[in-house]
Amino acid sequence: MSSSDRRRFLFLSAAVLLGGCGFTPAYGPSGGASQLQNRILIDEPTDSDSYLLVRELENRLGRAQAPQYGLSLALTTRRESMAVTSDNRTTRYNLLGDLRYTLRDLGTDEELTSGRVDSFTGFSTTGSTVATRAARADARERLMTILADRVTANLMAYAARLPQ
């Protein structure tokens, strides 16, 4: 079997399998996630981390134009020393983030779903002061991106059960 025949066989097999299991693209015509697009009013950020998080969520879900749902966020972050030299200098940190979220109906103020996601990123402190600050800022931004991805995935999974 030639390489192009294998690819065609795999593609057709995948199409048959996914079609038979009821798979629908999240943002497709009958996908539930389209109900979320531009309809979630996210609570205003209170600090630089929550600003980054809200920015990432709005990039994924759109900015609320006709809000039907409200998304409340409770973010906590902390820094842990990971690599300490013999003279007690920390050369690497992990930045840990924990995010609790609640999606509610703005009309009834009923809680529709809630959950918790967490993750971590790391950064090194072995460079100059400027390099360390840049690495810390980059780690914070990466952490907020990861948390936003996880919340978005959870909301997309729930979207099919949203009231019409």
Residue 147 lies in a domain: yes
CATH number at residue 103: 3.30.160.150
**Average pLDDT, integer, range 76-80:** 96
Residue 157 lies in a domain: yes
Residue 71 lies in a domain: yes
Count of domains for the chain = 1
The answer, yes or no, to whether residue 1 has pLDDT greater than 70, is no
Residue 7 lies in a domain: no
Residue 52 lies in a domain: yes
Q: Are strands 90-105 and 111-124 parallel, antiparallel or unpaired?
A: antiparallel
Residue 9 lies in a domain: no
Q: Do the beta carbons of residue 151 and residue 117 sit within 8 Å? A: yes
> Please, what is the average pLDDT of the chain?
87
133 half-sphere exposure, CB direction, 13 A CA radius: 3
Query: In this predicted model, which residue has the larger pLDDT, 16 or 82?
Result: 82
Residue 102 lies in a domain: yes
Which pLDDT band holds residue 90 (cuts at 50, 70, 90)? confident
